[in-house]
Amino acid sequence: MQLKRRSLLLSFALLAGAMMGACAAPPPANRPGAEQPTAAPAAGEKDWLDIVKERGVLRVSTDANYAPQSYFDEQTKEWTGFDIDTAREVAKRLGVQVEFVTPDWSAITAGNWARRWDVSIGSMTPTPERRKVLDFTPPYYFSVTQFGIRADLKDEIKTVNDLAGRTVCVAQATTYETYLNGNLDIEVVMPPPQGVKIAIVKTDQECIQSIQSGRKDYDALLTSANVINDGRKKGVPIEFLDKPVYYEELAISIDKAAAPNAKFLAELTRIVNEMHADGTLSNLSMKYFDGLDVTKKQ
């Protein structure tokens, strides 16, 4: 989740101003500039791309409770969100159907997927640690990471430093958790507050939903500004705190252990670049992120 320039920061700030004035159980399974690849196939050996095309289905890991990126809509009984529509388009351009699975985020980022799914199209930041076990395409969009606080605390907590000693909610195995622990290996804008108590949940939306229910287990949460915006649109009493603390680039990932994967990574990279060039990703971004195009560094 990496660096964006000041203009994107201002875009999110303006959006947040206008609106003022990192888990539910997964749905049942029957509901509906790249790195060098790990390895090339030996003579007669199938690349993972060939396996996917022969199967006719791309298995995509996703989060059932990560709006507006991905969620299962209980009313329409459909998967929806920016990552979901991106995955559908990737599958279409591969010439296959798409199937969504919902493993824990910690299992996805750990690699060694044991061929249970083919690809993660789930807003993953290609950190150096994750690159040890996963291969990544170029980023398909960019994200701002920011603290949100309970609205009833806005007079007490005005800066990131005011979170010292407070309880902050984050999703497990995310860059947010790593940042609060002081171990994030990408550039940050602001250092983490000192002495925070980290409350870890399965997915970022659990933090939002706890505040929405009126509980006061957490004073703040750390997540993508997109997630905070989504909560505010739904009437959750939450406020943006201070400035963004770091920026992220989000990429599609595949498992190094599912080798050979050279053709698969190359084809996914081609599709991401093509979707940038023809405006598909920009249009999806504006659809799900309140008219903002977060698919380009600005």
| Domain interval for residue 16 | 6-21+143-247
The verdict on 148 and 238 lying in the same domain is yes
List the beta bridge partners of residue 171.
Answer: 201
CATH number of the domain bearing residue 265: 3.40.190.10
* Cβ burial, residue 167 (10 Å; 0-12/13-18/19+): middle
Alpha helices in the chain (DSSP H): 6-19, 48-55, 82-94, 105-110, 128-131, 175-180, 204-212, 225-233, 262-277, 280-288
Q: Domain tally for the chain?
A: 2
The verdict on 56 and 189 lying in the same domain is no
- Which of 247, 262, 278 is the endpoint of a domain? 247
Amino acid at 58: L
The verdict on 150 and 205 lying in the same domain is yes
The verdict on 126 and 105 lying in the same domain is yes
CA–CA separation, 87 and 59 (whole Å)? 10
| pLDDT at residue number 213 | 96
The secondary structure element, H or E, covering residue 138 is strand 134-150
Asked if residue 43 belongs to a domain, the reply is no
Digit-by-digit pLDDT tens for the chain (298 residues) are 433 333 433 343 434 433 333 333 344 343 443 333 344 445 568 999 999 999 999 999 999 999 999 999 999 999 999 999 999 999 999 999 999 999 999 999 999 999 999 999 999 999 999 999 999 999 999 999 999 999 999 999 999 999 999 999 999 999 999 999 999 999 999 999 999 999 999 999 999 999 999 999 999 999 999 999 999 999 999 999 999 999 999 999 999 999 999 999 999 999 999 999 999 999 999 999 999 999 988 6
The verdict on 119 and 155 lying in the same domain is no
| pLDDT at residue number 206 | 96
| pLDDT at residue number 56 | 98
| pLDDT at residue number 9 | 38
| pLDDT at residue number 197 | 98
Contact call for residues 12 and 248 (beta carbons, < 8 A): no
Asked if residue 167 belongs to a domain, the reply is yes
List the beta bridge partners of residue 134.
Answer: 255
The pTM for the full model equals: 0.84
The verdict on 110 and 163 lying in the same domain is no
The verdict on 137 and 254 lying in the same domain is yes
The verdict on 220 and 239 lying in the same domain is yes
- Which of 247, 264, 279 is the endpoint of a domain? 247
Asked if residue 41 belongs to a domain, the reply is no
The verdict on 264 and 190 lying in the same domain is no
CA–CA separation, 239 and 174 (whole Å)? 21
Contact call for residues 184 and 246 (beta carbons, < 8 A): yes
